[in-house]
Chain A
Amino acid sequence: DVKVTQSSRYLVKRTGEKVFLECVQDMDHENMFWYRQDPGLGLRLIYFSYDVKMKEKGDIPEGYSVSREKKERFSLILESASTNQTSMYLCASSPQLATDTQYFGPGTRLTVL
């Protein structure tokens, strides 16, 4: 079974804080993705990575950065958290091609006060 884990299920941070969200997959997948999900807006792609140290911007990268130092780990960084970044953050991975089936983690519900 594919296992994608995220460091926290729930997180509360203050405006201006630097926030790290961690994602780990145990299936040796090449591709990893960060999405955010908001009511009425569906899933929106923030960043993705198709290899170690490689990253590509998605649709809404502003205010975020990512890091992929090891194949199994993909981190999302909020440089200076703002209230409009309150959301559900979802990590996913896929085996080889970016068009392969994506498997999701449980999500992190982030609240920025």
Chain B
Amino acid sequence: DAKTTQPTSMDCAEGRAANLPCNHSTISGNEYVYWYRQIHSQGPQYIIHGLKNNETNEMASLIITEDRKSSTLILPHATLRDTAVYYCIVRSAIYNQGGKLIFGQGTELSVKP
């Protein structure tokens, strides 16, 4: 699975959009981009995933560049409860070692009042 690079930390004002970038320059054609988040001392929570097209659900939007080498997770109206570590994961769609997830260091997002 391709490696990802994320900023270590980011701040965002409550009510504003939070834009979390991720670089995955070695991504291959059959690899998805997944985003999870983890609030302190809780299990990871699935947010969204995509292959080529931009995706949106009730939690967030995922924007993937045309060359697929980077992506941005957008939380449109951040709240204090969105404070968490956000993980960008590139994952093969082909069965590989049981489909294990590889979490990097992630971005620690702090939403401030």
Contact of B98 among A37, A42, A43, A56 (CB under 8 A): A56
Task: Output the least CB separation between A68 and chain B (Å).
Answer: 14
A104 contacts chain B at the CB level, 8 A cutoff: yes
Count of chain B residues near A, Cβ 8 A? 23
* A58, B44: Cβ atoms closer than 8 Å: no
Q: Bound complex: CA of A35 vs CA of B45, how far in Å?
A: 14
Mark contacts of A29-65 with chain B using CB atoms, 8 A cut-off: 1 yes-contact digit, 0 otherwise.
Answer: 0010101010000110100101000001011000000
Contact of B99 among A31, A37, A43 (CB under 8 A): A31
| In the complex, residue of chain B having the shortest beta-carbon distance to the beta carbon of A59 | B100
CB-CB under 8 A for A103 and B95, given A33-B100, A42-B102, A43-B101: no
Q: Bound complex: CA of A63 vs CA of B102, how far in Å?
A: 21
Which of B's residues lie within 8 Å of A, judged by CB? 34, 41-46, 49, 91-105
Which of A's residues lie within 8 Å of B, judged by CB? 4, 31, 33, 35, 37, 42-43, 45, 48, 50, 56, 58-59, 88, 90-92, 94, 97-107, 109
- Extra 16 A-B pairs, beta carbons < 8 Å, given A42-B104, A91-B43: A35-B101, A42-B103, A43-B101, A43-B102, A45-B97, A45-B101, A58-B98, A90-B44, A92-B101, A98-B98, A100-B99, A102-B101, A104-B43, A104-B44, A105-B43, A106-B43
